[in-house]
Amino acid sequence: MYLGQRLVPGLTRDLSFVGVLAGSEPWRFITSAFVHSPTSLLHIVFNMYILYAFGPTLEGALGRVRFLLVYLLSAVGGSIGVLLLSPLEPGWFVQVVGASGAIFGLLLLYVVLLVRQGQVPTALLVMIGINLALPFFVSGIAWEAHVGGAVTGAALGGLLLLTSAPGRDKEAVRRRAMFWPGLVGLAAVLLGLGVFRIVQVLGAGAFMLTG
């Protein structure tokens, strides 16, 4: 995708997340996580390094299907964060790209799982803290996507803890099966927040026009 961005004119524009287009082009909630700043190799290298460092561990713990769904839902959560936390101008008119929302979702999910085990590496918390604070010192970074992805990942981690149970008895099987309705419920919450924010902004715009 990164090479495509460098070679295909308009690809970044067509796949990036833009708040004002969220209602009419909803695929941008996910596609924005697969494109990065075409002028910054460091942007994609950093995200891919984090995914390489933590992804295999989480994929092994969750399984491929659940890992993929968690990643994609965290990406959507990052876009929802942009909708909820960005000001209408200029935030909703700025192109947002990158897998940072999804990456932060995986990191916070990992932290939640480690908290359950009582062993959260200090270095991991420091790294997350630095990256959450970095956008306040470096311009051009969408901190809203980081926060949205992080909150989504933490919620997914909580869901995994609530629905995890050892053994093969009926209660354990029933509890593990609740993961899927819970995942659908979290997705519905994200969808509801996005729709609410879009309707809220559109309503405010209509009021300004009629007023």
Residue 60 predicted with pLDDT over 60:
yes
The pLDDT, as a whole number, for residue 65 is 93
Question: Tokens 């715009």 appear where?
Answer: 205
Q: Is residue 12 one of the residues assigned to a domain?
A: no
Q: Is residue 140 one of the residues assigned to a domain?
A: yes
The pLDDT, as a whole number, for residue 205 is 57
Q: Is residue 10 one of the residues assigned to a domain?
A: no
Q: HSE on the CB side for 36, CA within 13 Å?
A: 17
Domain extent at residue 108: 40-89+99-210
Distance between CA atoms of residues 121 and 165, nearest Å: 25
Query: In this predicted model, what pLDDT tens digit does every residue of 63-90 receive, in sequence order?
Result: 999 999 999 999 999 999 999 999 888 8
The pLDDT, as a whole number, for residue 209 is 43
- Sequence-distant (6+) residues with CB within 8 A of 4 are 11
Q: Map 91-156 to HEC letters.
A: HHHCCECCCHHHHHHHHHHHHHHHHHHCCCCHHHHHHHHHHHHHHHCCCCCCHHHHHHHHHHHHHH
Closest Cα to residue 108, out of 61, 158, 67?
Answer: 158
Residue 26 predicted with pLDDT over 90:
yes
Bridge partner list, 17 = 96
Q: Is residue 129 one of the residues assigned to a domain?
A: yes
Q: Is residue 83 one of the residues assigned to a domain?
A: yes
Q: Is residue 142 one of the residues assigned to a domain?
A: yes
| Number of domains the chain is built from | 1
pTM over 0.85: yes
The pLDDT, as a whole number, for residue 204 is 64
CB-based contact 19:83 (threshold 8 Å): yes
- For the chain, what is the mean pLDDT? 89
Residue 33 predicted with pLDDT over 70:
yes
Q: Is residue 33 one of the residues assigned to a domain?
A: no
Mean pLDDT of 38-63: 89
Query: In this predicted model, what pLDDT tens digit does every residue of 200-210 receive, in sequence order?
Result: 888 765 444 44
Residues with a known catalytic role:
100, 146
Q: Is residue 85 one of the residues assigned to a domain?
A: yes
Q: Which tokens is 46 given? A: 């950093």
